[in-house]
Amino acid sequence: MKLRMSFASAAAIAAALFCGTAAAAPQHKLGAGLTMYFQMGGSPGDASTLPRELGAKAAAKALGVRLISQYSDWQPEKMIEQFRQAIAAGPQCAEIMGHPGNAAFAPLVSKAEAQGMVVTAGNVPLPKLEAKYRTNGFGYVGTYLVQGGETTAAAMVKAGHLKPGDEALEYGVFAEGIRGESDEGLVMGLKKAGLKVYKLNISNAVNADPALSVPILVAFIERHPKLKAIGTQQGLVTSFIPKALQEAGKKPGQIVVGGIDLAPTTIAGVKSGYIAATLNQQLYMQGFLPVVQCVLTKRFDLEGMNVNTAAGTDDKALLDKIEPLIKKGYY
Amino acid sequence: MSGSDVSTGRPAAPKSSPRWHAHLGAVPIIVVFFALIGIYIGFAPEVFLRWPIYNSFLVTIPPMLVLSLGLTLVIAAGEIDLSFPAVIALSGFLFAFCADKLHMPWLGLVAAIGGGALVGVINGWLVAALGIPSIIITIGTSFFWSGVATVLSGGLSYALNDLTGTVIARVFSGTLLGVPVEALWAVAVAALIWAILNRHRFGEHLLFIGDSREVARVVGINTVRERIKLFTLMGALAGFASFLMTVANLSYFSTQGQGLLLSALAAVFIGGSSVFGGSATVVGSFFGAMIIGMLDAGIVATGVSGFWVEVIVGLVFVAAVVLHTGLGDPARVKALQRRLMQRE
């Protein structure tokens, strides 16, 4: 009897302590009680998605937000479908990507805003919607696409001492609307430097499996023996360009390469000298800040923030410093 | 290696029908292959009269080729396997993990093939023992094993540059007399699959099963056991293809293999294997894979806009399948001609 009562008392005290602690903890977090649907972009774990995912989860954990991740394999129609699902679920916030464009998202964003949802954009901008709903917290965290492409082009021209009349290839996702603006930016940057630029579209098959880009690039290089530069704004394709150059018999530096993101093999390409510069989108920030946006608007009615996460291009020296973080997926 | 088709159990054609077409086998697709090379050389001689582009093909096409060869057996038996992209991802992770974290690449090779075989055994059991259609099961297992690969890898990519110069890299990704060894391994697998299909009882059983599963069962073939073996072999081949791809690229991505689903299947069908099962041609799949693997780069080299690639792939696919149907079943073509003339 005594033992039973002791056990019961101890259990009651423990339960009280647990409940008290559990009740107290969420109240200290600014985002407690908020749910946010977040479009990550590709598939779980691909090199251009993982850092964003890690950033969003870190922010959600720090702020006490319940995060629902959505993956679209970079398919615009799937992004629209997933936003429809998000609206139906009725969360407080949602982050969307601009690949489908302003017109495609406009009716859904209008519906979400009418429900009192905070909607914000990441990775690819939605400038018209941002201008319309900024006061409701619609912001943008990502690269300024055209500017990012131009930055990459400038780095390529400088690293490769490229001259007017030199030939270059931009291998990009030209068929993806707003997303293709970064490739157009790179083309503009090279043309401003006086280069002759060829444009080649990345097919759906290559987008899904970038190893398939290798023979295509070899064929192009062989067809254009005066080629001096190759640019791309597709992260995984960037990592396969060195292999294509090797198979075409090119040594590091013979053809200047500018790319984007920091896949482990891209780092190897920069270290070997095949890749001159890669635009660092700081994808972790693209995941972290939209969650912060959600909380700041919901709690304090703050307006949408517009943040350019592309600080610039990374070369060998900078990569040495951040490589340990890259290997863990933080870039 | 002969290019003859192997088919069983079909009633003999009427004596008045010409049977010359039955001996053509993979000849039409071989003609198409060389015709394409001729077109590429004509439009882009600076590319296709030099070695680098062929070297690139011989490095990048073998994984898809190995997959197509495995699928040839699967389709010959009247089945389908859509889970191989997931095996590419899973087996690639197993190899990358063993090579990068454990520094045991040879164990990784065994793990890659073993992992693929395990997926195959499960597919085979679900299809053969439970009787669920293979298209349904393999779609489901594709999602499952893709997810497992992502969970195990944590979404991280692996750079495997430390394998450069090692024995395993030289054996499976080096060159022999200037020829990429990946291509030699693919030819060896092709020879093995040809021998299985044309000279081994297992291959004969598969063709019987593809022709009529019920008849095969009645004549004493253990259709359950043979199909489990079939899917296990396909899984192991997919694991080997994944290993070849990973060691050639010296990198692993959790999404690798996703772009190969339609290409590998297209290679089998344009090669001349029957979608209904019961007949198959390994040589046809071999050249079918070469054609599919070269199309994208060939179109780019000729200067045609990349936007046209998928249009041309589709045209080649349909034309090849129509050609095979016409040559394989001329009675059907004559019946269609009669019907069209009657309408006029």
Q: Which tens digit of pLDDT belongs to each residue from B2-12?
A: 333 444 444 44
Work out the percent of chain A whose per-residue pLDDT is above 90: 63
Do A329 and B59 count as a contact with CB atoms less than 8 A apart?
no
Q: Is residue B80 part of a domain?
A: yes
Does residue B118 have a pLDDT over 90? yes
Strongest mean pLDDT among A298-312, B78-92, B321-335: B78-92
Q: Are residues A77 and A103 in the same domain?
A: yes
Joined tokens for residue A299:
């709690």
DSSP E strands: which ranges in chain B? 6-7, 158-159, 175-176, 179-180, 251-252, 279-280
Q: Is residue B4 part of a domain?
A: no
Scanning every residue of chain A, which has its alpha carbon at the shortest distance from the alpha carbon of B263? A205
Q: Are residues A254 and A163 in the same domain?
A: yes
Return the higher-pLDDT residue of A323 and B169: B169
pLDDT confidence band for B1 (50 / 70 / 90): very low
Whole-Å CA distances, B178 to A73, A180, B58, B235, B294: 38, 39, 11, 31, 20
pLDDT confidence band for A175 (50 / 70 / 90): confident
Q: Is residue A226 part of a domain?
A: yes
Does residue B21 have a pLDDT over 80? no
Helix axes B51-76, B282-301, angle to 10 degrees: 140
Q: What is the CATH number of the domain that holds A288?
A: 3.40.50.2300
pLDDT confidence band for B27 (50 / 70 / 90): confident
pLDDT confidence band for A82 (50 / 70 / 90): very high
Residue A156: give the domain boundaries. Answer: 145-280
Chain A positions touching B263 (Cβ under 8 A) are 205
Q: Are residues A110 and A162 in the same domain?
A: no
Q: Are residues A43 and A100 in the same domain?
A: yes
Q: Are residues A207 and A229 in the same domain?
A: yes
Give B 270-329 residues with CB within 8 A of chain A: 293-294, 296-298, 300-301, 303, 305-307, 309-310
Neighbours of A32 (CB within 10 A): 14
Mean pLDDT of chain B: 87
Q: Is residue B308 part of a domain?
A: yes
Do B263 and A327 count as a contact with CB atoms less than 8 A apart?
no
> Chain B: nearest CA to A244, how far in angstroms?
8
Enter the pTM of the model: 0.78
Structural domain tally of chain A? Answer: 2
Q: Are residues A200 and A109 in the same domain?
A: no
Neighbours of A231 (CB within 10 A): 31
Helix axes B51-76, B181-199, angle to 10 degrees: 30
Does residue B210 have a pLDDT over 90? yes
Chain A positions touching B56 (Cβ under 8 A) are 214-215, 218-219, 244, 247-248
What local confidence, expressed as pLDDT, does residue A245 receive? 95
The amino acid at residue A94 is A
Q: Is residue B11 part of a domain?
A: no
Q: Is residue B1 part of a domain?
A: no
Q: Which of A247, A255, A331 to mutate to test the interface with B (most CBs of B within 10 A)?
A: A247
CB B224 within 8 A of CB B28: no
Return the higher-pLDDT residue of A327 and B15: A327
Scanning every residue of chain B, which has its alpha carbon at the shortest distance from the alpha carbon of A206? B259
- Alpha carbons within 13 angstroms on the beta-carbon side of residue A118 total 28
pLDDT confidence band for B317 (50 / 70 / 90): confident
Structural domain tally of chain B? Answer: 1
Does residue A15 have a pLDDT over 80? no
What local confidence, expressed as pLDDT, does residue A14 receive? 43
Q: Is residue A96 part of a domain?
A: yes
Which residues are A39's β-sheet partners? A70
pLDDT tens for residues A236-254? 899 999 999 999 999 999 9
Q: Are residues A52 and A71 in the same domain?
A: yes
Residue B214, φ and ψ in degrees, nearest 5: -65, -45
Does residue B332 have a pLDDT over 70? no
Work out the percent of chain A whose per-residue pLDDT is above 70: 90
Return the higher-pLDDT residue of B83 and A316: B83
Number of residues in chain B: 344
Does residue A172 have a pLDDT over 50? yes
Distance CA B234, CA B119 (A): 9
pLDDT confidence band for A27 (50 / 70 / 90): low
Mean pLDDT across A170-194: 90
Mean pLDDT across A279-301: 95
Joined tokens for residue B18:
């010409």
Q: Is residue A16 part of a domain?
A: no
CA dihedral B336, B337, B343, B344 (to 10 degrees): 160
Residue among B56, B253, B260 minimizing CB distance to A46: B253
pLDDT confidence band for B314 (50 / 70 / 90): confident
Does residue B189 have a pLDDT over 90? yes
Do B294 and A215 count as a contact with CB atoms less than 8 A apart?
yes
What local confidence, expressed as pLDDT, does residue A34 receive? 96
Does residue B16 have a pLDDT over 80? no
Distance CA A98, CA A178 (A): 7
Which residues are A22's β-sheet partners? none
pLDDT confidence band for A72 (50 / 70 / 90): confident
pLDDT confidence band for B305 (50 / 70 / 90): low
What local confidence, expressed as pLDDT, does residue B10 receive? 43
Report which of B217, B200, B198, B196 is spatially closest to residue B208, judged by C-alpha positions.
Answer: B217
Q: Are residues A32 and A105 in the same domain?
A: yes
Chain B positions touching A202 (Cβ under 8 A) are 306
What local confidence, expressed as pLDDT, does residue B313 receive? 76
Q: Is residue B2 part of a domain?
A: no
A277-280 and A306-308 beta bridge pairing: unpaired
Mean pLDDT across A140-148: 91
Give B 127-146 residues with CB within 8 A of chain A: none
What local confidence, expressed as pLDDT, does residue A98 receive? 92
Spell out a b/e string for B169-186, using b for 16 or more CB atoms within 10 Å of the CB, else e: beebbeeeeeebbbbbbb
Nearest 5°: the CA angle A33, A34, A38 is: 150
Please check whether residue B208 touches A, CB under 8 A. no
DSSP label of A161: T
Neighbours of B75 (CB within 10 A): 26
What local confidence, expressed as pLDDT, does residue A149 receive? 94
What local confidence, expressed as pLDDT, does residue A324 receive? 77
What local confidence, expressed as pLDDT, does residue A180 receive? 87
Report which of A108, A92, A40 is spatially closest to residue A70, judged by C-alpha positions.
Answer: A40
Do B53 and A327 count as a contact with CB atoms less than 8 A apart?
no
Return the higher-pLDDT residue of B246 and B329: B246
Q: Is residue B6 part of a domain?
A: no
Q: What is the CATH number of the domain that holds B150?
A: 1.10.3470
CB A232 within 8 A of CB A172: yes
Joined tokens for residue B160:
């495997």
Does residue B328 have a pLDDT over 70? no
Nearest 5°: the CA angle A300, A306, A308 is: 140
> Chain B: nearest CA to A326, how far in angstroms?
10
Report which of A73, A65, A232, A124 is spatially closest to residue A55, judged by C-alpha positions.
Answer: A65
Q: Are residues A163 and A272 in the same domain?
A: yes
Q: Are residues A95 and A178 in the same domain?
A: no
pLDDT tens for residues B93-110? 999 999 999 999 999 999
Do A219 and B255 count as a contact with CB atoms less than 8 A apart?
no
pLDDT tens for residues B130-146? 999 999 999 999 999 99
CB A137 within 8 A of CB A293: yes
The amino acid at residue A239 is S
Does residue B218 have a pLDDT over 70? yes
Nearest 5°: the CA angle A278, A281, A282 is: 115
Q: Is residue B5 part of a domain?
A: no
Mean pLDDT of chain A: 87
Does residue A13 have a pLDDT over 60? no
Distance CA B72, CA B6 (A): 12
Do B254 and A204 count as a contact with CB atoms less than 8 A apart?
no
What local confidence, expressed as pLDDT, does residue A6 receive? 43
What local confidence, expressed as pLDDT, does residue A185 receive? 95
ipTM over 0.90: no
Which residues are A199's β-sheet partners? A170
Joined tokens for residue A325:
């973080």
Report which of A117, A72, A69 is spatially closest to residue A92, judged by C-alpha positions.
Answer: A117
Q: Is residue A72 part of a domain?
A: yes
Using a CB cutoff of 8 Å and minimum separation of 24, what contacts does B2-5 make? B2/B198, B2/B283, B3/B27, B3/B30, B3/B281, B3/B283, B3/B284, B4/B198, B4/B281, B5/B272, B5/B279, B5/B280, B5/B281
Contacts of B287 (CB under 8 A, 6+ apart): B26, B29, B30, B32, B33, B271
Does residue B194 have a pLDDT over 80? yes
Nearest 5°: the CA angle A49, B237, B125 is: 95
Q: Are residues A190 and A249 in the same domain?
A: yes
Does residue B255 have a pLDDT over 70? yes
Return the higher-pLDDT residue of A72 and A31: A31
Strongest mean pLDDT among A270-274, B148-152, B153-157, B238-242: B238-242
SS3 string of A185-233?
HHHHHHHHCCCEEEEEECCHHHHHCHHHHHHHHHHHHHHCCCEEEEECC
Residue B305: give the domain boundaries. Answer: 22-343
pLDDT confidence band for B120 (50 / 70 / 90): very high
Q: Determine if residue A277 is left, alpha or beta; phi over 0 gives left, psi from -120 to 50 gives alpha, anything else beta.
A: beta
